[in-house]
Amino acid sequence: EPEVTQTPSHQVTQMGQEVILRCVPISNHLYFYWYRQILGQKVEFLVSFYNNEISEKSEIFDDQFSVERPDGSNFTLKIRSTKLEDSAMYFCASSLLSGALNNEQFFGPGTRLTVL
Amino acid sequence: AQKVTQAQTEISVVEKEDVTLDCVYETRDTTYYLFWYKQPPSGELVFLIRRNSFDEQNEISGRYSWNFQKSTSSFNFTITASQVVDSAVYFCALSERGFNKFYFGSGTKLNVKP
Protein backbone atom coordinates (compact mmCIF):
# COMPACT_ATOMS: atom_id res chain seq x y z
CA GLU A 1 0.00 0.00 0.00
CA PRO A 2 1.44 3.40 -0.93
CA GLU A 3 2.52 5.56 1.96
CA VAL A 4 4.07 8.89 2.76
CA THR A 5 7.65 8.64 3.97
CA GLN A 6 9.69 11.16 5.91
CA THR A 7 13.38 11.50 6.64
CA PRO A 8 15.05 11.73 9.03
CA SER A 9 12.92 10.25 11.79
CA HIS A 10 14.77 12.37 14.34
CA GLN A 11 16.85 15.47 13.75
CA VAL A 12 18.87 17.23 16.40
CA THR A 13 20.23 20.67 15.64
CA GLN A 14 21.73 23.69 17.33
CA MET A 15 19.74 26.88 17.68
CA GLY A 16 20.32 29.16 14.70
CA GLN A 17 21.11 26.33 12.30
CA GLU A 18 19.14 25.61 9.16
CA VAL A 19 17.31 22.32 8.86
CA ILE A 20 15.58 20.63 5.96
CA LEU A 21 12.94 18.04 6.62
CA ARG A 22 12.19 15.71 3.76
CA CYS A 23 9.04 13.99 2.68
CA VAL A 24 8.14 11.74 -0.20
CA PRO A 25 4.38 12.01 -0.78
CA ILE A 26 2.31 9.29 -2.41
CA SER A 27 3.26 9.33 -6.06
CA ASN A 28 0.00 10.36 -7.74
CA HIS A 29 -1.04 12.85 -5.09
CA LEU A 30 -1.29 16.51 -6.00
CA TYR A 31 -1.61 18.30 -2.67
CA PHE A 32 1.03 18.37 0.00
CA TYR A 33 0.99 19.61 3.57
CA TRP A 34 3.13 20.17 6.61
CA TYR A 35 1.81 20.04 10.14
CA ARG A 36 3.56 20.58 13.44
CA GLN A 37 2.93 19.06 16.84
CA ILE A 38 4.72 20.51 19.83
CA LEU A 39 5.17 17.84 22.47
CA GLY A 40 1.94 17.17 24.31
CA GLN A 41 -0.08 19.55 22.17
CA LYS A 42 -2.36 19.25 19.20
CA VAL A 43 -1.38 18.91 15.59
CA GLU A 44 -1.30 22.31 13.89
CA PHE A 45 -1.48 23.13 10.21
CA LEU A 46 1.55 24.91 8.77
CA VAL A 47 1.20 25.03 5.02
CA SER A 48 -0.38 23.45 1.98
CA PHE A 49 1.21 23.25 -1.45
CA TYR A 50 -0.26 22.65 -4.87
CA ASN A 51 0.96 23.11 -8.39
CA ASN A 52 4.36 24.24 -7.17
CA GLU A 53 3.14 27.00 -4.98
CA ILE A 54 1.82 27.58 -1.50
CA SER A 55 -1.97 27.49 -1.50
CA GLU A 56 -2.48 28.28 2.15
CA LYS A 57 -0.36 28.91 5.21
CA SER A 58 -0.96 29.51 8.87
CA GLU A 59 0.33 32.31 11.06
CA ILE A 60 2.96 29.89 12.36
CA PHE A 61 4.50 29.68 8.90
CA ASP A 62 6.56 32.85 8.99
CA ASP A 63 9.56 33.93 6.94
CA GLN A 64 11.76 31.41 8.69
CA PHE A 65 9.91 28.62 6.94
CA SER A 66 9.87 27.64 3.30
CA VAL A 67 8.67 24.67 1.30
CA GLU A 68 9.81 23.27 -1.97
CA ARG A 69 9.22 20.40 -4.32
CA PRO A 70 12.68 20.25 -5.80
CA ASP A 71 12.48 17.22 -8.02
CA GLY A 72 8.93 16.02 -8.54
CA SER A 73 9.04 13.43 -5.80
CA ASN A 74 10.38 15.09 -2.66
CA PHE A 75 8.59 17.76 -0.68
CA THR A 76 10.77 19.65 1.77
CA LEU A 77 10.28 21.98 4.70
CA LYS A 78 13.18 24.28 5.47
CA ILE A 79 13.59 26.20 8.68
CA ARG A 80 16.21 28.87 8.09
CA SER A 81 17.40 29.66 11.58
CA THR A 82 15.96 27.30 14.14
CA LYS A 83 14.73 28.44 17.52
CA LEU A 84 14.18 26.39 20.65
CA GLU A 85 10.44 26.67 20.14
CA ASP A 86 10.72 24.95 16.76
CA SER A 87 11.29 21.69 18.61
CA ALA A 88 8.33 19.56 17.63
CA MET A 89 7.17 16.62 15.57
CA TYR A 90 6.68 17.64 11.95
CA PHE A 91 4.21 15.66 9.88
CA CYS A 92 4.04 15.67 6.13
CA ALA A 93 0.78 14.70 4.44
CA SER A 94 -0.48 14.36 0.90
CA SER A 95 -3.86 14.04 -0.76
CA LEU A 96 -5.01 13.23 -4.22
CA LEU A 97 -7.57 15.97 -4.40
CA SER A 98 -8.77 18.81 -2.26
CA GLY A 99 -12.05 20.33 -1.25
CA ALA A 100 -15.14 18.27 -0.89
CA LEU A 101 -14.51 15.50 -3.32
CA ASN A 102 -11.93 13.31 -1.71
CA ASN A 103 -9.60 15.15 0.55
CA GLU A 104 -8.35 12.33 2.68
CA GLN A 105 -4.88 13.22 3.74
CA PHE A 106 -2.33 10.52 4.27
CA PHE A 107 0.18 11.34 6.96
CA GLY A 108 3.82 10.38 7.13
CA PRO A 109 5.36 8.96 10.30
CA GLY A 110 6.77 12.34 11.30
CA THR A 111 10.19 13.83 11.93
CA ARG A 112 11.00 14.73 15.49
CA LEU A 113 13.04 17.94 15.49
CA THR A 114 15.00 18.80 18.61
CA VAL A 115 16.62 22.22 18.78
CA LEU A 116 19.31 22.60 21.44
CA ALA B 1 -12.79 29.83 18.46
CA GLN B 2 -11.91 26.16 18.42
CA LYS B 3 -13.26 24.33 15.43
CA VAL B 4 -12.77 20.94 17.08
CA THR B 5 -13.14 20.45 20.80
CA GLN B 6 -12.14 17.37 22.68
CA ALA B 7 -13.08 18.22 26.21
CA GLN B 8 -11.60 15.08 27.76
CA THR B 9 -7.89 15.63 28.23
CA GLU B 10 -7.18 12.23 29.70
CA ILE B 11 -9.24 9.14 30.45
CA SER B 12 -8.19 6.08 32.41
CA VAL B 13 -10.08 2.82 32.24
CA VAL B 14 -9.47 -0.76 33.21
CA GLU B 15 -9.12 -3.33 30.47
CA LYS B 16 -12.42 -4.64 29.08
CA GLU B 17 -14.29 -1.49 30.00
CA ASP B 18 -16.05 0.44 27.28
CA VAL B 19 -14.93 4.02 26.76
CA THR B 20 -16.31 6.90 24.70
CA LEU B 21 -14.19 9.76 23.46
CA ASP B 22 -16.09 12.94 22.74
CA CYS B 23 -15.60 15.29 19.82
CA VAL B 24 -17.58 18.43 19.12
CA TYR B 25 -16.95 20.45 15.99
CA GLU B 26 -17.93 23.80 14.62
CA THR B 27 -18.36 24.71 11.00
CA ARG B 28 -20.61 26.79 8.80
CA ASP B 29 -20.09 24.56 5.82
CA THR B 30 -22.69 22.04 4.81
CA THR B 31 -20.03 19.82 3.26
CA TYR B 32 -17.20 18.72 5.48
CA TYR B 33 -15.29 15.69 6.64
CA LEU B 34 -14.58 14.41 10.10
CA PHE B 35 -11.75 12.13 11.06
CA TRP B 36 -10.34 10.22 13.97
CA TYR B 37 -6.65 9.48 14.31
CA LYS B 38 -4.78 7.43 16.87
CA GLN B 39 -1.33 8.50 18.01
CA PRO B 40 0.49 5.74 19.89
CA PRO B 41 3.56 6.52 22.02
CA SER B 42 5.75 6.02 18.94
CA GLY B 43 4.29 9.25 17.59
CA GLU B 44 2.85 8.46 14.19
CA LEU B 45 -0.72 9.34 13.25
CA VAL B 46 -2.82 6.31 12.47
CA PHE B 47 -5.95 6.94 10.43
CA LEU B 48 -9.06 5.36 11.95
CA ILE B 49 -12.08 6.74 10.13
CA ARG B 50 -13.36 9.43 7.80
CA ARG B 51 -16.96 10.56 7.70
CA ASN B 52 -18.55 13.06 5.33
CA SER B 53 -21.25 15.42 6.44
CA PHE B 54 -23.92 13.73 4.34
CA ASP B 55 -23.52 10.36 5.93
CA GLU B 56 -24.87 10.22 9.45
CA GLN B 57 -24.95 6.49 9.66
CA ASN B 58 -23.09 5.17 12.62
CA GLU B 59 -20.17 2.94 11.81
CA ILE B 60 -18.76 -0.07 13.55
CA SER B 61 -15.40 -1.61 12.89
CA GLY B 62 -14.59 -4.43 15.25
CA ARG B 63 -14.38 -2.97 18.75
CA TYR B 64 -14.56 0.58 17.42
CA SER B 65 -17.73 2.48 16.72
CA TRP B 66 -18.50 6.05 15.81
CA ASN B 67 -21.61 8.09 16.46
CA PHE B 68 -22.06 11.09 14.18
CA GLN B 69 -24.83 13.50 15.11
CA LYS B 70 -25.16 16.67 13.07
CA SER B 71 -27.86 18.00 15.36
CA THR B 72 -25.33 18.27 18.18
CA SER B 73 -22.23 18.70 15.97
CA SER B 74 -20.67 15.69 17.59
CA PHE B 75 -18.64 12.78 16.31
CA ASN B 76 -17.98 10.51 19.25
CA PHE B 77 -15.79 7.44 19.27
CA THR B 78 -16.45 4.38 21.40
CA ILE B 79 -14.05 1.54 22.09
CA THR B 80 -15.78 -1.57 23.35
CA ALA B 81 -13.94 -3.97 25.64
CA SER B 82 -10.83 -1.80 25.72
CA GLN B 83 -7.39 -3.35 25.63
CA VAL B 84 -4.01 -2.15 26.84
CA VAL B 85 -2.95 -1.70 23.20
CA ASP B 86 -5.65 0.94 22.83
CA SER B 87 -3.61 3.23 25.07
CA ALA B 88 -2.77 6.24 22.94
CA VAL B 89 -3.75 9.81 22.24
CA TYR B 90 -6.78 10.07 19.99
CA PHE B 91 -7.37 13.09 17.81
CA CYS B 92 -10.56 14.20 16.14
CA ALA B 93 -10.14 16.40 13.05
CA LEU B 94 -12.29 18.44 10.70
CA SER B 95 -11.76 19.35 7.06
CA GLU B 96 -14.10 21.83 5.42
CA ARG B 97 -15.17 22.13 1.80
CA GLY B 98 -12.88 24.22 -0.29
CA PHE B 99 -10.14 24.18 2.30
CA ASN B 100 -7.23 21.87 2.21
CA LYS B 101 -6.16 21.70 5.79
CA PHE B 102 -7.21 19.80 8.85
CA TYR B 103 -8.29 21.32 12.12
CA PHE B 104 -7.30 18.99 14.89
CA GLY B 105 -8.72 18.81 18.37
CA SER B 106 -6.37 18.90 21.30
CA GLY B 107 -6.55 15.14 21.71
CA THR B 108 -7.68 12.75 24.41
CA LYS B 109 -5.10 10.59 26.08
CA LEU B 110 -6.53 7.16 26.80
CA ASN B 111 -4.85 4.99 29.41
CA VAL B 112 -6.05 1.41 29.52
CA LYS B 113 -4.79 -0.40 32.58
CA PRO B 114 -4.55 -4.18 32.83
Q: What is the pLDDT of residues B63-91, one digit of tens each?
A: 999 999 999 999 999 999 999 999 999 99
C-alpha–C-alpha distance, residues B82 and B14, integer Å: 8
Q: Which residues of chain A have pLDDT under 50?
A: 100
**pLDDT for the residue numbered A32:** 92
* % of chain B surpassing 70 pLDDT: 96
Asked if B100 and A41 come within 8 Å (Cβ–Cβ), the reply is no
Answer yes or no: is pLDDT of B107 > 80.
yes
Asked if B97 and A99 come within 8 Å (Cβ–Cβ), the reply is yes
Best residue of A3, A36, A43, A111 to probe chain B, by most B CBs closer than 10 Å: A43
| List of chain B residues whose C-beta atoms are within 8 Å of the C-beta of residue A56 | 99-101
Amino acid letter for position B77 = F
**pLDDT for the residue numbered A40:** 87
Query: Could you tell me if B68 lies within 8 Å of chain A, comparing CB atoms?
Result: no
Asked if A43 and B104 come within 8 Å (Cβ–Cβ), the reply is yes
Q: How large is the average pLDDT for residues B1-22? A: 94
- Helix, strand or coil for residue B57? coil
**pLDDT for the residue numbered B96:** 82
Tell me which residue in B44, B50, B107 faces A104 most closely, judged by beta carbons: B50
Q: How large is the average pLDDT for residues B104-114? A: 96
**pLDDT for the residue numbered A100:** 45
Best residue of B102, B108, B109 to probe chain A, by most A CBs closer than 10 Å: B102
**pLDDT for the residue numbered A54:** 93
